[in-house]
């Protein structure tokens, strides 16, 4: 499992339900391996900073609430070795959210919200010519970052102009469908191969390494990679949604041929039951 490079329980659950999981690997390992289970972090091989180091880093972000912390995590700005759920990751050291965020009065630190530059700080970020979130994080953690430019711009400018990382760093991503078509042409078989490809230096600069952050149209790794045969409910819905604009131009026979050739019919029949033809006709009318 550790060779997959998964960094969270959510990533494990997505992979386990994607159709890529071998039959002899359980989808719920905690129950199967209860006598040897040491936690998701141990199972996936996730390396964490010590509690004190992680908390010190979080203190430096000057969050005012748990919501700000989680927004920061969801934006893809959090380093991978800092837990999204520290209350679970550090059960022995955990005191509470105020302690984790540094919102209680502590003599070793002066609490105070930074006064950031206006959103025009984006122009400064763009001239750095950084290629992605990880390079931004490395630069933001260095002494080169001016004090009035935030480490976490997605949180700092959430309601003041923030769009996405491509916009912030001056990277113009390809439209979702064009980028997905390119990625599918690579013939990659799983998320691990995608990660390796991104690290290889062969990926075009206008295709994001973290498409789930860059594109609101994101529908999962299987859809992104075009993995055949992994017809989960989410993949079927994504496939049908792609077909929707073209349904009016397709005859019923053409539609069934497309679904059959794509290998989607068994999964579709399982999802819709014996009434598949009637429900497909209803879909074409909507």
- Radius of gyration, alpha carbons of the chain: 22
Separation CA 143–CA 210 (nearest Å): 26
HSE (side-chain half, CA atoms, 13 Å) at 88: 10
Domain boundaries, the chain: 2-44, 51-169, 176-285
Is pLDDT at 160 greater than 80 in this prediction?
A: yes
In a 10 Å sphere around its CB, with 0-12 CB exposed, 13-18 middle and 19+ buried, how is residue 40 labelled? Answer: middle
Q: For residues 249-260, give the mean pLDDT.
A: 64
Is pLDDT at 258 greater than 70 in this prediction?
A: no
Is pLDDT at 113 greater than 50 in this prediction?
A: no
- Evaluated on CA atoms 195, 200, 202, 203, the torsion sign reads positive
> pLDDT, tens digit, for every residue of 68-85?
888 888 776 778 788 888
Is pLDDT at 282 greater than 60 in this prediction?
A: no
> pLDDT, tens digit, for every residue of 34-76?
777 767 767 777 777 888 888 888 888 888 788 888 888 877 6
pTM reported for the whole predicted model: 0.35
The least confident of 11-15, 137-141, 186-190, 201-205 is: 11-15
> pLDDT, tens digit, for every residue of 203-240?
887 888 878 766 767 777 888 888 755 555 555 566 56
Q: For residues 113-131, give the mean pLDDT.
A: 79
Band of residue 109 on the pLDDT scale cut at 50, 70, 90: very low
Structure tokens at 250: 């397709």
């Amino acid at each position: 499992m550790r060779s997959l490079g998964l960094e969270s329980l959510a990533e494990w659950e997505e992979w386990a339900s994607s159709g890529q999981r071998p039959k002899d690997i359980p989808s719920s390992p905690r129950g199967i391996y209860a006598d040897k289970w040491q936690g998701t972090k141990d199972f996936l091989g996730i390396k964490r900073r010590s509690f004190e180091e992680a908390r010190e880093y979080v203190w430096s972000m000057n969050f005012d609430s748990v919501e700000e912390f989680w927004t920061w995590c969801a934006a893809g700005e959090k380093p991978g070795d800092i837990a999204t759920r520290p209350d679970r990751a550090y059960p022995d050291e955990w005191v509470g959210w105020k302690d984790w965020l540094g919102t209680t009065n502590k003599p070793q630190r002066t609490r105070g919200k930074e006064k950031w530059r206006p959103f025009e700080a984006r122009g400064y970020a763009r001239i750095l010519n950084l290629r992605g979130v990880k390079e931004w994080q490395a630069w933001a953690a260095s002494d080169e970052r001016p004090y009035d430019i935030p480490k976490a711009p997605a949180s700092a400018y959430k309601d003041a102009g923030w769009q996405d990382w491509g916009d912030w760093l001056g990277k113009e991503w390809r439209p979702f469908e064009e980028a997905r078509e390119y990625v599918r042409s690579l013939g990659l078989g799983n998320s691990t191969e995608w990660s390796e490809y991104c690290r290889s230096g062969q990926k075009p600069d206008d295709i994001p390494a973290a498409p789930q952050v860059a594109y609101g149209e994101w529908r999962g790794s299987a859809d992104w990679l075009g993995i055949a045969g992994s017809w989960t409910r989410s993949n079927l819905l994504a496939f049908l949604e792609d077909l929707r604009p073209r349904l009016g131009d397709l005859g019923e026979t053409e539609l069934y041929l497309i679904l059959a050739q794509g290998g989607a019919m068994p999964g579709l029949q399982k999802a819709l039951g014996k009434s598949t033809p009637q429900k497909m006709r209803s879909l074409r009318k909507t």
